[in-house]
Structure 1
Amino acid sequence: MKGTFKGASLGMILGLLLALSPLALAEELAPINVNTADAELLAELPGIGPTRAEAIIAERDANGGFESADDLIRVSGIGSATVDGLRDQVEF
């Protein structure tokens, strides 16, 4: 009986740690620098994807870097809702 309880307890603890691990990883991710990131990294941002990532790079190449999240509105296909969702995930 003791072995069963011990195994079940260990399983519950391991399950809890695995369930919480995505939260820990999300907190450890550093913001992405929009002025230096490549398209692959930019595409990882929520609401961006490959097409908008390329548009971000084209905009910064054509008109200079971005100074704030609000500057991302310059990019075709990026609106204020997307910018609001990115504020804590990007840096300049």
Structure 2
Amino acid sequence: MLKQLLLIMVLICIAPVSYAEDSTADPKYAGIEITVNINTASAQELADLLTGIGIKKAEAIVEYRQEHGKFDSAESLTKVKGIGPSLVSKNQSRIQL
């Protein structure tokens, strides 16, 4: 009986947490594909649209692009200091050339 009561209490406590996780996606963005052209976007656009890219890294991307020319692939972003393969992989579907 005590085990059943404990199980019921645990399930009651977990249920709101699991429901809250499902509701974090904003339905107004459902079906919208976010993309950004890394060869033309401003630093602010890069920071706003790429996951894990703040304004400092976005400024570094723009600076690198100005010094070395356009990026020829998404993977070439790894040439920018502070941007590794995992960050590029995380944003692969958002990056355009």
Q: TM-score, normalised by structure 1?
A: 0.72
Q: Distance in 1 between matches of 2:74 and 2:28?
A: 25
Q: Which residue in the other structure is 1:35 paired with? A: 39
Measured on the aligned residues, the alpha-carbon RMSD in Å equals: 1.9
Matching residue of 1:51: 56
Q: Which residue is 2:74 aligned to?
A: 69
* Structure 1 segment 17-28 matched on structure 2, within 5 A: 19=23, 22-23=26-27, 25=29, 27-28=31-32
- For residues 60-79 of structure 1, the C-alpha deviation after alignment (integer angstroms, 9 at most, x for no partner) is 00001112110100100000
Relative distance call for 1:20 and 1:79 in structure 2 (3 A) is closer
| Secondary structure at 2:93 match in 1 | coil
Percent identical among aligned pairs is 36
Q: Which residue of 1 aligns with 2:86?
A: 81
Structure 1: unaligned runs, 5 residues or longer: 1-18
1:5 matched residue in structure 2: none
1:13 counterpart residue number: none
Deviations 1:3-55 (A, max 9, x none): xxxxxxxxxxxxxxxx5972551531431000110111100211110000000
CA distance in 1, matches of 2:30, 2:62: 25
Number of residue pairs aligned between Structure 1 and Structure 2 = 74
